[in-house]
Structure 1
Amino acid sequence: MAVLDQVPDDNENPSAAARRRTAIAELLRRIAPVADGLGERFAAAGHELALVGGPVRDALLRRPSKDVDLTTDAPPQKILEIIDGWADNVWTIGIEFGTVGLRKDGHELEITTYRSESYDPKSRKPEVSYGTSLVEDLRRRDFAVNAMAARLPGYEFVDPFGGLTDLQRKVLRTPGRPEDSFSDDPLRMMRAARFAAQLGFTVAPDVVQAMKDMAGRIEIVSAERVRDELSKLICGRYPREGLALLVDTGLAAHVLPELPKLRLEIDEHHRHKDVYEHSLIVLEQAIAQEKEGPDLVLRLAALLHDIGKPRTRRFEAGGRVSFHHHEVVGAKMTRKRLTALRYPKDVVADASRLVELHLRFHGYGTGEWTDSAVRRYVRDAGPLLTRLHKLTRADCTTRNKRKADRLRRTYDDLEARIERLAEEEELAAIRPELDGNEIQAILGIRPGPLVGRAYKFLLELRLDQGMIGKEAAERELRRWAAEEGIEPEDGESPEGGRPPTPPGPTGSES
């Protein structure tokens, strides 16, 4: 990442300031007419307007930025007056916190009144008060690198707390005392870890110490806000740095306590790999396989795949250590933790399912699985199969090159078999060869639990033997029904096979 190499001081080279303005103007090039026009409207109304925070930081880092965040001394109602008749669309969902959103010529912008906010010790909602000074607004921001602004129109650079210097040094500092900053908004401690993960910056020692001293303060923040920061951290470019900071400062003990618990004590008599370090490596190796940007579900599963080990660790004879069924225990723990963090139900279900399945491959041996076992592997993974491939490959962290090569070749073989069977049998949609209507017609039964039992039998038959044809499937179904003592229900007659028009609903086969 290229950072402008000029540090502002009282005798700053004018060309340095010009280059800074150019960098910020480049960011705004695509919306320059909108930004300039908006700045002129605010100036005409006697109010200030400035591009602020992340967009300015990213412009100086030459990083793309989707956000266009602006700040002003105008109160929210005055903002609405200034943009009335000019904006194509306006939304006020954040107006209680001083923020007005607007769309103009296809561009979305957010304008926030200069403000400060703080938390009452017993409240999860911040108290907001408005200000009149850009410098004071910048002072209340989380880090100096986010406390820079560019006044509009003209892009005059404002950096009262040395944010540009911090960009050069790749360090995160707070504009004032970190204790005051984190007291005002404890979520900033999570944001420190998040920016470390996104930017690869180090965190200043006094900030780290404040995080350690005040880690328990994070409990006042809502689970949803913690979740959002954690997701951004995990999906950052350097998640190891951010996660390590959470663990080392004690924040993880409050927001993701399963992670520090992976630091299992290892004695000289009972040795096993460092589960915490192993989990971070698995996360990095899973990330290395991503082709279309960060995959939150895959990353969560990689990070949490072994969280069941502390609860299942057993010391065996001869110095062995076992973790029997840690994948099952870990799946339940994953589900509980992600639910507590208010993750969407699909994320919870998918991540916990991957944790549950991550050891399945190790029963494959050197290829001893039958085609039936391969079909079950695919069926159980369902739409998560591609992610399961990546997680399974990432879970190999052995330093033994021969062993690693053997595991890689074995999984290559499994994937090849899956592809072959998929071509032959449409594995992605494994279903019995008879549907619910046909089951009812053949056995002379009505919709209900019995149809579900028959469907399950046929599904197992399909997994065991593959495609055998409808006639053979019908013979097997009749044989099964006879063994189970299933007889036609009143008013139903299975003679003559399936009727030309199947009856009503399909039962419980969905």
Structure 2
Amino acid sequence: MQQAVARLAPVLPLLTDLGACFARAGHELALVGGPVRDAFLGRTPPDLDFTTSASPDETEAILRAWGSATWDLGRDFGTIGAVRRSGGVETTVEVTTYRADAYDGVTRKPVVAFGESLEGDLVRRDFTVNAMAMRLPSLEFVDPYGGLADLEAGVLRTPSAPEVSFGDDPLRMMRAVRFVAQLGLVPAPEVYAAMQAMGGSLDIVSAERVRDELVKLLMAREPRAGLELLTDSGLAAHVLPELPALKLEVDEHHRHKDVYDHSLIVLDQAIALEGPADAPAESVPGPDLVLRLAALLHDIGKPATRRFEPAGGVSFHHHEVVGAKMTAKRLKALRFDKDTVKAVSRLVELHLRFHGYGDGQWTDSAVRRYVTDAGPLLPRLHRLTRADCTTRNSRKAQRLSRTYDELERRIDVLLEREELAAVRPELDGNEIASVLGISPGPVLGRAYKYLLSVRMDEGPIGKEAAADRLRTWWADQPESR
């Protein structure tokens, strides 16, 4: 307990001061949930969440006198926010009235009922490790459901029966998966059994809420354990069905590797290739959601494209193209933003491109196209491609690494020499129109694309040579006659 209080030392004056303000007004106040859990884990809590016996209106009045500004975070749900600025330091708090929610079982919207006690509020929390509190200003530790013991044992339990807890809000099953990844906890047998039995209830939870939990899971330091629980418990079938579908039955001759396990290894290796959080963009500072999604989903087109060949082999022709379409469809269903959908699906589509490089026989034109097709995704494509090598054959792995090193060196040379990141035809639209004597329209667009292909194939040739090429091309077009 003393160590947890010591971890809260930077905010302890604020905690006791705020607690005293509520006490003087005749109300209870307690620090609750994640901040208390994190203090026992030796972490400095990033947020401060409180619960109180005061009504929302009473809370607002107290916070208005205590802080610099207040706002309504959800008065109907009992939550009021405030910020206090003192000595150049700004602290934000959220205070929620004791709750005793029930859910309607259809829309997942809570029917709000304010509670009467701290213990009653804690029992409605998702897990025991989040059902610990510290009364203020006395700093009395409150743990009616054994959260600290579960935290020390590394076990994830619910304060009430898991069937009741998950029935109240099925999204708590996704939170369980996330806490496995973030905190290294293991679900208790009864929690795991309830997840297996009740996974279908996730179908009534909004896609946005599911997406947010999935993102938090993927952005954990080591998300693999959470993803394995997501799959093994059956939840993935309702959230990301393409993931368990990767568990292809390996034929007796083992003619292809376990695609599911391979994908998790690729994710692990991609994470290891991320740069530090403060690294420049070209180093892909982690955690990077786009890279992690692409690594996890890069092979989801394989089940649909698997073919056993007459000669005894197995093929997955065009799985990258099929996978890109599947990726876009799934991410749209989960309500990811357009930029994320576009970036992840593009990486999935491009992830095999390097394997056409062979032993380095690509022309400069092919290298230019690799760079321009990837565009701003190139740093991520580098890491995805390297992470996709999971062979246990060390000689093959070293050869692939050396070959990609060579490709990156060629890219660097061309980038420096030709500014490929902003490659354009050597004549702009106005110049093309002037050379050909045409007006803006579809023909001008075709002429632009032709000159762009010349630029890609041959590199810079100069404006005069580009104009000559354009005239030669124009002579063969029906519009020129």
Indicate the TM-score class for this superposition, using the shorter chain for normalisation. over 0.9
CA deviations 1:103-148 (Å, max 9, x no partner) are 1111111111111333322213222211021111111111111111
State the shift of 1:270 in Å: 6.1
Shift of 1:88: 1.9
Query: Which one of 35, 42, 54 corresponds to residue 34 of structure 2?
Result: 54
Corresponding residue number in structure 2 for 1:389:
382
SS of 2:112 mapped into structure 1 = strand
Is the contact made by 2:4 and 2:42 (CA closer than 8 Å) also made in structure 1?
A: no
**Deviation at residue 306 of structure 1 after TM alignment:** 0.4
Query: Given residue 304 of structure 2, which amino acid in structure 1 is its aligned partner?
Result: R
The aligned residue for residue 415 of structure 2 is: 422
Looking at structure 2, the residues matched to 95 and 398 of structure 1 have their Cα atoms a distance apart, in angstroms, of 56
Alignment of 1:446-465 (within 5 A): 446-465=439-458
* Number of aligned positions between the proteins: 468
Aligned pair 1:118/2:98, yes or no? no
Mapped to 1, the partners of 2:387 and 2:221 lie a distance apart of 17
Tell me the alpha carbon deviations over residues 411-464 of structure 1, each in whole angstroms, 9 at most, x when there is no partner: 000000000001100011111111111111221111222221111111101000
| 1:114-153 superposed matches below 5 A | 114-153=98-137
Give the drift of 1:96: 2.1
1:368 aligns with one of 347, 357, 361: 361
Query: Residue 118 of structure 1 contacts residue 185 of structure 1 at CA under 8 Å; is this kept in 2?
Result: no
Q: C-alpha separation between the residues in 1 aligned to 2:224 and 2:134?
A: 33
Correspondence for 1:501: none
Q: 1:162 Cα shift?
A: 1.2
Please give the per-residue CA displacement for 1:355-414, whole angstroms capped at 9, x wherever unaligned. Answer: 000000000000010000000000000000000000000000000000000000000000
Q: How does 1:64-463 map to 2 (within 5 A)?
A: 64-105=44-85, 106-269=90-253, 271-291=255-275, 292=277, 293-463=286-456
Kept in 2, the 8 Å contact 1:279–1:305? The answer is: yes
Name the TM-score, length of structure 1 as normaliser.
0.90
**Could you say if the C-alpha distance between residues 416 and 221 of structure 1 is closer, same or farther in structure 2, counting changes exceeding 3 Å?**
same
Q: Aligned with 2:359: secondary structure?
A: coil
Superposition deviation, residue 190 in structure 1: 0.4
Offset, 1:67: 1.2
Range with bigger deviation, 50-59 or 90-99: 90-99
SS in 2 for 1:130: coil
Mean alpha-carbon deviation: is it higher for 118-127 or for 177-186?
118-127
Distance in 1 (CA, whole Å) between partners of 2:321 and 2:100 is: 47
Which 10-residue stretch deviates more, 262-271 or 127-136? 262-271
Q: Distance in 1 between matches of 2:254 and 2:182?
A: 38
The letter of the residue matching 2:426 is E
- Please identify the structure whose Cα radius of gyration is greater: 1
Q: Which runs of 5+ in 1 are unaligned?
A: 1-16, 489-510
Is 2:32–2:131's contact at 8 Å kept on the other side of the alignment?
A: yes
Q: How far does residue 89 in structure 1 lie from its aligned partner after superposition?
A: 2.1
Larger mean Cα displacement after TM superposition, 237-246 or 415-424: 237-246
- Alignment identity in percent? 66
Structure 1 residue 167: deviation in Å? 1.5
Residue number in structure 2 paired with 1:508: none
169-178 or 366-375, larger mean C-alpha shift: 169-178
Q: What 5-or-longer segments of structure 2 have no aligned partner?
A: 278-285
Separation in 2, partners of 1:18, 1:121:
42
- Contact 1:197/1:242 (CA < 8 Å) preserved in 2? yes
Structure 2 distance, partners of 1:18, 1:329, is: 56
In 2, the alpha carbon distance for the partners of 1:64 and 1:430 equals: 47
Contact 2:126-2:158 within 8 A present in 1 as well = yes
Secondary structure of the equivalent of 1:92? strand
RMSD: 1.4
> Which residue is 1:11 aligned to?
none
Does residue 18 of the first structure (1) align with residue 11 of the second (2)?
no
> What residue identity is the alignment partner of 1:39?
G
Shift of 1:269: 4.4
Q: Is the 8 A contact 1:34 1:104 kept in 2?
A: no
- Per mean C-alpha deviation after superposition, the further-off stretch among 447-456 and 254-263 is 447-456
Q: 1:116 to 1:238 in 2, by over 3 A?
A: farther
Pick one of 18, 35, 38 that aligns with 1:38: 18
In structure 1, distance between residues paired with 2:61 and 2:148: 34
SS in 2 for 1:51: strand
Q: Contact 2:99–2:115 (CA<8 Å) still a contact in 1?
A: yes
Give the whole-Å Cα distance in 2 for the aligned partners of 1:361 and 1:18.
56
Partners of 2:291 and 2:80 lie apart in 1 by 35
Question: How far does the alpha carbon of each residue in 1:252-279 deviate from its partner, in whole angstroms, 9 at most, with x for none?
Answer: 0000000000001122146210000000
Contact 2:79 2:96 in 1 (8 A): yes
Name the CA shift for 1:466/1:101 in 2 (closer, same or farther; >3 Å): same
The one-letter amino acid paired with 1:62 is G
Partner letter of residue 305 of structure 1?
Answer: H
Q: Which residue of 1 aligns with 2:464?
A: 471
Determine helix, strand or coil for the equivalent of 1:100: strand
Give SS of 2:95's match: strand
8 Å contact kept, 1:139–1:176: yes
Distance 1:52 1:190 in 2: 21
On the 8 A contact 1:425/1:467 being kept in 2, the answer is yes
Compared with structure 1, are the counterparts of its residues 231 and 278 closer, same or farther at alpha carbon in structure 2 (3 Å cutoff)? same
The 2-side partners of 1:190 and 1:375 are apart by: 43
After TM superposition, give the deviation of residue 158 of structure 1 in Å: 1.1
Runs of 4+ in 1 over 4 A off after TM superposition: none
TM-score normalised by the chain length of structure 2: 0.95
Per mean C-alpha deviation after superposition, the further-off stretch among 334-343 and 80-89 is 80-89
Partner Cα distance (1:324, 1:158) in 2:
59
Distance 1:64 1:469 in 2: 60
